Amino acid sequence: MNAAATLLVVVALLALVGVGWLVGVYNGLIRKRNLVQEAWRQIDVELRRRHDLIPNVVETVTGYAAHERETFEAVTKARAEAMASGSSPARQAAPEEVLSEVLGRFFAVAEAYPPLQADDNFMALQRELSDTEDRIAAGRRFYNANVRALNTSTEVFPGNIVAGLFGIERGEYFEATDPEVRAVPDVTFGTDRPPVPSD
């Protein structure tokens, strides 16, 4: 075998190794991106479930505490803002966080009504909403861990080169980072409650 043929074989092998390396890095980035997308779909399902449960919970509580109109309006407004925030994790995080805070305050008000606590329908809805909140929190941790893995891979060599070549973008975390966005609006609850009827 002459030198030119040997050089050609070496160049072909190096090109093959380079292409194999490029394909391996690319496939790794795509797998990580797909994990991020799947994790987001799981969170989105739970967010929609929460959005669907809220009107039922508010309606149930309204029967016992109709004068807490400001509270119900705050929950309804927070729900509407969360639903209208879009599908981007970064844009949806802050309104969803506000909704969680307002719901916490809503349930604190609901605890002031013992007959409501005895209502089986309310308790079932509260349990379902609590379970949904737990799944959202777990999904958020899983999603953000996958985003972190993707982002790390797109920032370090050689992933940064491959990501740049093929337009693989960084993932968006599902968390509110702006302190003004994280601030929960004040929700004032009626202090002039009528006495709670006893059974």
Portion of the chain with pLDDT greater than 70, in percent: 87
- What is the residue type of 186? D
Tell me the domain boundaries of the chain.
26-182
Q: How is domain 26-182 classified at the architecture level of CATH?
A: Up-down Bundle (1.20)
CB 102 within 8 A of CB 71: no
Inform me whether the pLDDT recorded for 182 exceeds 90.
no
CA-to-CA separations, 142 to 73, 95, 199, in angstroms, rounded: 32, 20, 46
Q: Are 112 and 193 in contact (CB under 8 A)?
A: yes
Nearest to 99 by CA among 113, 117, 85, 115: 85
pLDDT band at 28 (very low <50, low <70, confident <90, very high): very high
- What pLDDT shows up at residue 165? 92
Query: Tell me, what's the pLDDT at 177?
Result: 57
Phi, psi dihedral angles at 128 (to 5 degrees): -65, -40
This prediction's pTM: 0.77
pLDDT value of residue 57: 87
